[in-house]
Amino acid sequence: MAAPIRILTAVPICDGHDSAINTINLEFIRHGIEVIYLGYHRSVGDIVRAAIQEDVRAIGISSYNGGHVEFFGDVVDLLRKRGASDIKVFGGGGGTITHDDAEAMKHGGVDEIFFAGTSLTEMTDYVRERYGKPRKRAGAKSPDIELAWRLTEIEDGTRRSGREKKHQTSNIKHQTSRVIGFTGPGGAGKTTLIDELVLRFLNQNPKGRIAILSHDPSVIGEGALLGDRATMINSQNDRVFMRSMATRGQAGGLSPATDDCLALLAQSNFDYVIIETVGTGQEAIPFQKKGLVDLTVLVMNPDYGSRLQLQKIVMLDLADIVVVNKSDLQRARTAHTEIEQRLEQNRRNQRLIDTVAKRHRDPGVDQLFALICRNDQETRKKR
């Protein structure tokens, strides 16, 4: 089976009209396309950086606020300057983009502009026909481009050959990065928490780099909405390399290619590699493979149900750190007490931290970041 087409979609800076792009995203997904959604109010630099790191076939831009001729042109120009002209650009904007504008944009390198009245079927057929074919590449002009290409080769190689993986990067022994795994139920706030930790890392390490490997669910042969980037604010930074992966039918919170992609990132000169699972259930043990991560963080919210439910969550036995996020909610104090009692039964040196990740300079997030750094220092001393 051919690898899914990967498309990045976004809304330009100073534009908050996202209803049209959300509808188009869903239609693409129904037809087997993996959509990395960057969100609205995104700059040219944010869009191009994400497109390169995600190694997408094309960028779809929805523009309703004017300035589209210049904005689309700037995206095409920056892709060219960064050696990524194989990534194409298309888009639309209802009645705000005139036919004369569209001609000028196409002359400047934009593939296609869809006008009001274009059916979803027409747009989907165009994307599948135009970007579903193999593409020709020149040599990689930057380390990020080369890394993105290698991740794609691993992911698509895994999909083509199943268990007989073409790329066995998991055998790499020269790991230079500290790998931290984040898991937990959907809606617990994992992505927001990670983004806040990234901010603290960037502030503390002016020259440091960090990689994020995030996951969203998908079924074999179908598309996926890879939307973690849409809630990332601080991670829109040239010192952050982020890659979004669909599970492509694998249960447990990770992708069939996760092990090899993670191994590649871990020896690519990042200080930290953060891996985020999909929203998981009670039975999930995403990091059970020995050596996959150095530290495991389970993120929960206070509304997990009755105390009995805690006995069923397997990751409470295995996590190194448990975070009760959204601890400003009414039930948070009770949740902390119940989870603390549950962890005491394990008789392990597990840590429990309360956070409000959405709150600027949250003391709980500061505490979590300090704990991660301290654990890193202690581990490096033992090596």
Q: Give the largest Cα separation in the chain, rounded.
A: 70
- Lowest average pLDDT, out of 42-51, 220-229, 344-353, goes to 220-229
Q: Is the pLDDT of residue 120 over 90?
A: yes
In this predicted model, which residue has the larger pLDDT, 373 or 174?
373
Name the pLDDT band for 134 (thresholds 50, 70, 90).
confident
Please state, in angstroms and rounded to a whole number, the distance separating the CA atoms of residues 51 and 165. Answer: 26
DSSP state of 254: S
Chain segment 143-161, per-residue pLDDT in tens: 999 999 999 999 988 555 5
- Average pLDDT on 13-31 reads 93
Alpha-carbon dihedral sign for residues 128, 134, 137, 143: positive
pLDDT of amino acid 162: 47
Q: Which CATH number fits domain 6-131: 3.40.50.280, 1.10.1760.20, 3.30.450.20, 3.40.50.300?
A: 3.40.50.280
Q: How many CA atoms lie within 13 A of 214 on its CB side?
A: 28
Q: Is the pLDDT of residue 164 over 50?
A: no
Report yes or no: 322 and 352 within 8 Å, Cβ to Cβ. Answer: yes
Q: Is the pLDDT of residue 10 over 80?
A: yes
Chain segment 58-110, per-residue pLDDT in tens: 999 999 988 999 999 999 999 999 999 999 999 998 889 999 999 999 999 99
In this predicted model, which residue has the larger pLDDT, 375 or 113?
113
H/E stretch holding 178 reads: strand 178-183
- Average pLDDT on 21-28 reads 96
Write down the domain spans for the chain.
6-131, 170-382
CATH for 170-382 is: 3.40.50.300
Amino acid at the residue 102: A
Average pLDDT over the chain reads: 91
- Tell me if 6-131 shares its fold with 170-382: yes
- Average pLDDT on 124-135 reads 95
- Average pLDDT on 246-272 reads 92
Q: Is the pLDDT of residue 165 over 70?
A: no
- Average pLDDT on 281-289 reads 73
Name the strands in the sheet holding 224-226, side by side, starting at the edge strand that comes first in the sequence.
112-114, 88-92, 58-62, 6-10, 34-37, 224-226
Q: Is the pLDDT of residue 171 over 70?
A: no
The model's pTM: 0.93
